[in-house]
Structure 1
Amino acid sequence: MFGKKKQPPIPPIKSLVAEGTRIDGHVSFHDGLRVEGEVVGDIRAIQEQSSILVISESAHVTGQISADHVIINGTVKGPVFAMDLLELQPKARIEGDVSYKALEMHQGATITGQLKPMGSAGMEEDKPTLKLAANNG
């Protein structure tokens, strides 16, 4: 009502790559995916609806990541595309360029690459949102 955009509901996480599991190849998913193991290949959300991807502290991904809402607390070697929100938790380690619409980065997270905000060209109200998360612990 007052200039705030309504956020789509967060989809449920329906799939898991468990710790101790390694996938060699590309992964496509609907709704939500949690990675606790290792993926060597691209991870992409099928863009028919909103999506969430969680890369846990124990996870290692070598390849491109693409989803609406991306939460990283593990290691990613490759580019990251977050169409809505990218959350970088304290133990996130990214080696690659990061594209995002909104970014939340906790103290301790590291990025070796470029930060590239997404948005509509020339739209003043579509500037990316940057937020430094407070360390509450």
Structure 2
Amino acid sequence: MFKKKEELDYAKVDTIIGKETSFNGQFNGKGILRIDGKIIGEVIQNGDIIVGETGIVEANIKGRHITVSGIVKGNIEASGLLQLLSTAKVYGDIKIYKLSIDDGAIFKGCCEMIREEKTIEKEESKKVV
């Protein structure tokens, strides 16, 4: 599915929001973000995002490859693959390059497929300051 260099390496997670942790506001980061706690607001990650089974995200999410096995209430924009695992519950619109939904996952919203993989950095560099 991914080229060798694009595979997610879960052992190299840069930031973890733990089960007992909650965050309210705009979260910006680089690398791999794993959410096992709760985030309310907005998540913009220049990299990959993993929402664990205990993760609850009430926010719009932007990232490269996004894997969800918890709950997301908000819109998702993935420049690469959006993967909804069997325990995932997503309530919001998605704009993605690739999509994978496992049996048992719940998705309620609209889906827009983008033609080519775009990174957040490329989109940001196109904006005129």
Answering whether residue 101 of structure 2 is matched by residue 101 of structure 1, we say no
Structure 2 SS opposite 1:32: strand
Q: Number of residues paired by the alignment?
A: 113
Greater helix percent: which structure?
2
Q: Identify the match of residue 89 of structure 1 among 57, 62, 85.
A: 85
Question: Structure 2: 5+ residue runs without aligned partners?
Answer: 117-129
Question: Structure 1: 5+ residue runs without aligned partners?
Answer: 121-137
- Cα shift at 1:80: 0.5
- Corresponding residue number in structure 1 for 2:127: none
Give the partner amino acid of 2:32.
G
- Preserved CA contact (<8 Å) 1:26 1:42: yes
- Corresponding residue number in structure 2 for 1:44: 44
- Corresponding residue number in structure 2 for 1:119: 115
Q: TM-score, normalised by structure 2?
A: 0.81
Structure 2 SS opposite 1:108: coil
**Counterparts of 2:52 and 2:87 in 1: how far apart (Å)?**
9
**Counterparts of 1:58 and 1:82 in 2: how far apart (Å)?**
21
Is the alpha carbon distance of 1:91 and 1:13 closer, same or farther for their aligned partners in structure 2, counting shifts above 3 Å? same
Greater strand percent: which structure?
2
Is the alpha carbon distance of 1:117 and 1:7 closer, same or farther for their aligned partners in structure 2, counting shifts above 3 Å? farther
